[in-house]
Chain A
Amino acid sequence: MRPYAVTGGRTHPVSGRFDLISLIQTTQLPPDQRHGLSPEHLGILELCRNLMSVAEVSAHLDLPLGAVRVLLGDLLVRRLVEVWDPAPPVITHDDRTLEEVLNGLRAL
């Protein structure tokens, strides 16, 4: 299938910027909010019951990033997903974060 068929030819999301490592999680909204969604939208909602980056959504659904961003934009507008964009360096490069990363790596 042509990748942008799943977005109806749209190449830009209606909402959100969706960095490669923006984290996505499906919200707990009732199922009636899902009316009219495509199988690909539903696939994302299923996948993102666990916290997942935009890059991972793209990899697991085998869709290019551009198409994934459009689909995520649709879901964000309906508040079906929550999005956390990458934190600024003051947080990611904070000594506590770095130490947590170090400990996590050592524990692997």
Chain B
Amino acid sequence: MGSERSDQAGRRVPTAVKILIAGGFGVGKTTLVGSVSETRALTTEEDLSERGIGVDDTSGVGDKTTTTVVMDFGRITISDDLALYLFGTPGQNRFAFLWDELALGALGAVVLADTRRLADCFPSLDYFETRGTPFVVAVNCFDGARRYTTEQVRRALDLDPGTPVLLCDVRDRESSKRVLITLIEHVRTSSVAAVADAALPATAGR
């Protein structure tokens, strides 16, 4: 709609977009980031104690408490002026505010699930559903893990019928690629739907 990634001089403006990779501990978030990014997964560290946020650090060692949260991420260069970043979300509940920062402006999210511990992805599902962030559920098929169909997983997670569910192997680049492509296709569909919704006159019930 006339939005251009260029400045007043007509120069294309470098743009970065991001996708979040969420899910329970050990489900393969970092592996997915590493398998599809240009380099191995990188790590960065946010020092929460400097941010004036009341993080309850129970270690009680020393006179100054320091809480850091480590984030894994990777980059996919789409073009000279468009870069896609994948961020693995730190799992702990107490970093919820960091999720808000990460989710702000994100194109969408991948919720990785492990069928042996399905409940581990519930907090991520709740978070993105509440926030209205488009997401797909990718079931990481670990060796030897009992296979379920995507329909069984959808039922077990009580997902909205429009939410894509797919099986994947996060160690495999092609498989991880397919997860991201499915997400972006879903984001496109969702934004078309959102525009259509907004165009409708307000009606009772929704």
Which A residues have a C-beta under 8 Å from some C-beta of B?
3, 11, 20-23, 25, 51, 53, 55-56, 58-60, 64-67, 84, 86-95, 97-106, 108
Contacts and interface: CB of A to CB of B under 8 A. Distances in A.
Nearest to B101: A20
Contacts of A65: 44-47
A100 B76 contact: no
Contact of A92 (B15, B45, B50): B15
Nearest to A12: B50
A101 B5 CA distance: 14
B78 A55 contact: no
B82 A100 contact: yes
Contacts of B168: none
B65 interface: no
A47 B177 CA distance: 28
A98 B184 contact: yes
Nearest to A95: B188
Interface in B76-124: 76-79, 81-85, 87, 101-102, 105, 107
A59 B70 CA distance: 10
Given A21-B17, A102-B185, 12 more contacts: A20-B87, A23-B15, A55-B42, A56-B75, A60-B42, A65-B47, A66-B51, A87-B13, A90-B1, A90-B3, A102-B188, A106-B181
Contacts, number: 129
Contact of A101 (B45, B51, B107, B173): B107
Contact of A20 (B102, B188, B191): B102
Contacts of B102: 20
B47 A51 contact: no
A59 B16 CA distance: 17
Interface of B: 1, 3-5, 13-18, 36, 42-47, 50-51, 68, 71, 73, 75-79, 81-85, 87, 101-102, 105, 107, 173, 177, 180-181, 184-185, 187-188, 191
A60 B44 CA distance: 9
The 4 tightest CB contacts between A and B, nearest first, are A104-B78, A59-B42, A21-B16, A58-B44
A3 B46 CA distance: 11
The A interface is mostly helix, strand or loop, or mixed, namely: helix
Contacts of A56: 42, 75
B50 A105 contact: no
A88 B1 CA distance: 14
A48 B75 CA distance: 15
B141 to A, nearest CB: 21
B46 A64 contact: yes
Given A58-B45, A97-B5, A53 B85 contact: yes
Given A97-B15, A101-B17, A101-B107, A55 B44 contact: yes
A94 B82 CA distance: 13
A6 to B, nearest CB: 13
